[in-house]
Chain A
Amino acid sequence: MFTILAKLLQFLNSNQNPHQLALAVCFGLAIGLMPGFSILLILLLMMVCVIKANLSLLVLVWGLFEAVAYIADPALQQLGYVLLSAEPLQSIWFSLAQSNFWALTAFNNTLVMGSTLAIIALWLPVYFLIRVLIVKYRQKIQDTFKQFKITQLLKGSKIFHIYQRLGN
């Protein structure tokens, strides 16, 4: 727990572009929520390889959202089912079903559809929120935080040593 916290602080305090960190969170969120049997997961992993995003943070968020996906599974399934059985959307699903590519995405799976919708809905808000938070943190909180007495105390603690070690 301390290690994860320390790692998170390290990412925040590093000089990395906030955009890359926000992208890492978004990709971690997407990969964590997407079920393993869809070809969309492979596409996401390919994109992660190509697009600059902090991989360590991505893996951290991925793990976190695997747990979130497990908890949210029934809600995501229900959401997917509502979409797939919605009468006005039937013509769209019907036309997608005629294509082999879309069949590979398993779009007609309730969990894939629910997760995809959740990813699309969360992507931009999460991206901008994380990006703004990182910038704000670096501008206002980072220096103030360093002057706290508790921070001084922590510098001599185990967390700080881990933090230092990871930093090196």
Chain B
Amino acid sequence: MKDIIRWPGIVFALLLVCLEYFLLEPLLKLMIEETGSRALSTSVTLDTVQIDWSEQSLTLKGLEVADKEHPMTNMVEVDHLALQIDALDALTGHLISEQANILGIQFNTPRSESGVQDSTEKTADKSSESDDPVSLPGLDLPDIDSLVSKENSLTYKRYQSFRQYLDESKVTYKARLAALKDKQKIADYKARFKDIKKAKGFMEILNSASKAKDLKNDIDKDLSEAQQLNRDFKQTKKEVKRRIAELKNSPQQEADQLLKKVGVENGTQKISQLIFGPEMKAHIENFKKWINSVNDSDANTDENTESNNAKKPNPERGKGVFVQFSQKNPLPLVWFKNTQLSGDLSGIGQEFSFKGTATHLTDQQTLSGKPTSLDLDLKSDLVKNAKVDIVVDIRTDQKLSLSFDVIQYRLDQKPLSGNFTIDSALLDTQGSISSINDQLSGNINAELNAVSLKTSGDTFKKYPSIEQALADEEHITAKIALEGTLEAPKIDINSNLDSIFNSVLKKVVDAQLAGYKVQVTEKIETMIQQELNSSESSQSELLGMGGDIAGSQDLFKNLMGKL
């Protein structure tokens, strides 16, 4: 035994173990920083790591995860992270904890040094924020000159049709009258009459009786035509009168139609959509970014797993290739089964601190087999009570749901869209939003009490009564329904603000419309005045033909009488 065992060597080995014990904390710190940086593709740093062997617990202090896009900013900073861990799991790189405390979570804090990684690929921010200028629908009336033009005027078209009718009637009646009162024909009738009268002797008289019968038939035909012409003319006179009357009323009718067409109607405006719609869209955009970040981290983990699954030997010397064998119960890299959370959200623009619990926080939900849930109580001087519950389930589909209940959240100087500002209000709101594979659904109820709603800009300068009515309202309720997709959400907002706004709008628009209608009517009348004057001569010319038409009937009656 003495020949084989080196007793001082045992002491040396024990010394090495002790040294390792003391070096383990800095080694673990290094390992966490490197593994975390690789897994998240961004710089992960730690201040200290403490191991408590008796409690089998690990405490990480000053954890900072750099923002990939902004290297001088921490995406997340955690003051204190205490975990109860399984040592063997930890040695194999799996951070599995039954009970964890993550305290002092902060977002978007400044970094002392850049967190840029060599492999970090900067991607251009493709999000295009559309700053559509917002205007109140239906209040701005269009310019009369652009609204009324000869090309589009109904009255002018009617006038043109009337003018054409006059011209065509004139031509028709002239032709029919000329055919009736043909001089050659009349002279022929007179000659045939004289010839009949000249008849003497039995045979001649018998022959002329036959001729008289033929003449009578011909005159009868012309008489019938003259009577028909007379009837038609009476009808034409009636039509001319009707069209003149129609033209007189036309400008007013056209004004009504034009005003309808440009949408100057009242009672249907959705002012709440205008005021709260962009606000809701911004919230949904944040929700979408959050979902994308969850999906990205999941994709990163999958990529890392896939890279480990390489089957062919890597030619790189001294490293080899890890061949992966399936495990009966594979573990995720990180899995905190029950976690106490605390921190504040000021870094993401919310004036809240939070405290709560999370279950099954993990980087690979498919391996933990459980959805991640967070129940948070939000605290702030501005709010009496606020709770947020979040459930993330990305095991098969991308399911995310968020529900909240906020009581008496004080809003001060809260800018909204459309030049509106909530000067002060107390908000009570409950709602739930969920997304399954980009499909969005949700319902939110909001109640604002002790509201002081103000407007700025020129929107209401012309309509002080609307501004006043909105400012006077102290209680606003809104029901918001969400559907569609995250890319194109459909937001339907119903609020009592709509009826308040619409009743005031009706009064304003009615008064405004009365004046506008007169202007539009006058414009149309002026536009076609000249044409109407020129048509008067044409009318009198047509109507003047009445004497000739009536005379043609008498002419044939006389001829018939003589016969």
In the bound complex, residues from chain A placing their C-beta under 8 Å from that of B314 are: 77
Bound Cα distance A100, B93 (Å):
10
- Minimum CB–CB distance for B351 against chain A, Å: 45
Q: A49-B13, A104-B92 known; A93 and B325 CB under 8 Å?
A: yes
Bound Cα distance A157, B320 (Å):
46
Scoring B6, B91, B313 by chain A CB atoms within 10 A of each residue's CB, the highest score goes to B313
Bound Cα distance A13, B328 (Å):
56
- The residues in A between 92 and 151 inclusive whose CB is less than 8 angstroms from any CB of B are 93-94, 96-98, 100-101, 103-104, 106, 108-112, 114
Question: Which residue of chain A is the closest to B331 with respect to CB atoms?
Answer: A100
- Minimum CB–CB distance for B190 against chain A, Å: 128
Bound Cα distance A51, B1 (Å):
10
Q: A49-B6, A70-B317 known; A106 and B322 CB under 8 Å?
A: yes
- Minimum CB–CB distance for B251 against chain A, Å: 90
Bound Cα distance A50, B320 (Å):
30
- Chain B contact residues: helix, strand, loop or mixed: loop
Asked if B321 contacts A109 (CB within 8 A), the reply is yes
A58-75: CB near B (< 8 Å → 1, else 0) gives 000000000001100110
- The residues in A between 34 and 93 inclusive whose CB is less than 8 angstroms from any CB of B are 35-36, 46, 48-52, 69-70, 73-74, 77-78, 80-81, 84-85, 90, 93
In the bound complex, residues from chain A placing their C-beta under 8 Å from that of B321 are: 77, 81, 109-111
- Minimum CB–CB distance for A114 against chain B, Å: 8
In the bound complex, residues from chain B placing their C-beta under 8 Å from that of A51 are: 4-6, 9
Asked if B91 contacts A100 (CB within 8 A), the reply is yes
Partner of B10, one of A50, A80, A103: A50
Asked if A81 contacts B323 (CB within 8 A), the reply is yes
In the bound complex, residues from chain B placing their C-beta under 8 Å from that of A80 are: 313, 320
Q: Is B249 an interface residue (CB 8 A)?
A: no
In the bound complex, residues from chain A placing their C-beta under 8 Å from that of B318 are: 35-36, 69-70, 73, 111
Asked if B13 contacts A50 (CB within 8 A), the reply is yes
- Minimum CB–CB distance for A48 against chain B, Å: 8
In the bound complex, residues from chain B placing their C-beta under 8 Å from that of A73 are: 317-318
Q: Is B3 an interface residue (CB 8 A)?
A: yes
In the bound complex, residues from chain B placing their C-beta under 8 Å from that of A46 are: 13, 16
Bound Cα distance A120, B338 (Å):
46
B324-352: CB near A (< 8 Å → 1, else 0) gives 11111000000000000000000000000
Partner of B320, one of A96, A101, A112: A112
Q: Is B515 an interface residue (CB 8 A)?
A: no
Q: Is A3 an interface residue (CB 8 A)?
A: no
Bound Cα distance A20, B5 (Å):
11
B304-324: CB near A (< 8 Å → 1, else 0) gives 000000011111011111111
Bound Cα distance A150, B6 (Å):
39
Q: Is A17 an interface residue (CB 8 A)?
A: yes
A6-21: CB near B (< 8 Å → 1, else 0) gives 0000000000010110
Q: A81-B313, A97-B327 known; A35 and B4 CB under 8 Å?
A: no
Bound Cα distance A103, B325 (Å):
11
Q: Is B19 an interface residue (CB 8 A)?
A: no
In the bound complex, residues from chain B placing their C-beta under 8 Å from that of A20 are: 3
Q: A70-B318, A81-B313 known; A50 and B323 CB under 8 Å?
A: no
Partner of A17, one of B3, B320, B327: B3
In the bound complex, residues from chain B placing their C-beta under 8 Å from that of A94 are: 325-326
Bound Cα distance A111, B313 (Å):
9
In the bound complex, residues from chain B placing their C-beta under 8 Å from that of A111 are: 318-321
Asked if B323 contacts A103 (CB within 8 A), the reply is no
Question: Which residue of chain A is the closest to B15 with respect to CB atoms?
Answer: A49
Q: Is B463 an interface residue (CB 8 A)?
A: no
- Minimum CB–CB distance for A42 against chain B, Å: 9
- Minimum CB–CB distance for A83 against chain B, Å: 10
Asked if A103 contacts B92 (CB within 8 A), the reply is yes
Q: A46-B13, A84-B323, A110-B321 known; A77 and B3 CB under 8 Å?
A: no
- Minimum CB–CB distance for B183 against chain A, Å: 121
In the bound complex, residues from chain B placing their C-beta under 8 Å from that of A97 are: 325-327
In the bound complex, residues from chain A placing their C-beta under 8 Å from that of B21 are: none
Partner of A85, one of B3, B92, B323: B323
Q: A17-B3, A70-B318, A73-B318 known; A108 and B9 CB under 8 Å?
A: no
In the bound complex, residues from chain A placing their C-beta under 8 Å from that of B12 are: 49
- Minimum CB–CB distance for B312 against chain A, Å: 8
- Minimum CB–CB distance for B261 against chain A, Å: 75
Bound Cα distance A78, B321 (Å):
10
Bound Cα distance A93, B326 (Å):
10
Asked if A109 contacts B313 (CB within 8 A), the reply is no
Q: Is B89 an interface residue (CB 8 A)?
A: yes
Asked if A49 contacts B9 (CB within 8 A), the reply is yes
Q: Is B88 an interface residue (CB 8 A)?
A: yes
Bound Cα distance A50, B7 (Å):
7
Bound Cα distance A106, B327 (Å):
15
Partner of B9, one of A50, A81, A90: A50
**Across the A-B interface, the 7 shortest Cβ-Cβ residue pairs:** A111-B320, A97-B325, A49-B9, A100-B88, A49-B13, A109-B320, A110-B320
B residues whose Cβ falls under 8 Å from a Cβ of A:
3-6, 9-10, 12-13, 16, 88-89, 91-92, 311-315, 317-328
Q: List 27 A-B contacts (CB under 8 A).
A: A20-B3, A36-B318, A46-B13, A48-B9, A49-B6, A49-B10, A49-B12, A50-B5, A50-B6, A50-B9, A50-B10, A51-B6, A52-B6, A73-B317, A80-B320, A94-B326, A97-B327, A100-B88, A100-B91, A101-B88, A103-B92, A104-B91, A108-B322, A108-B324, A109-B322, A110-B313, A111-B318
Given contacts A51-B9, A104-B92, A110-B322, 15 further A-B contacts (CB under 8 A): A20-B3, A46-B13, A49-B6, A49-B12, A49-B16, A50-B10, A73-B318, A74-B317, A77-B321, A78-B313, A84-B323, A93-B323, A110-B321, A111-B318, A111-B321
A residues whose Cβ falls under 8 Å from a Cβ of B:
17, 19-20, 35-36, 46, 48-52, 69-70, 73-74, 77-78, 80-81, 84-85, 90, 93-94, 96-98, 100-101, 103-104, 106, 108-112, 114
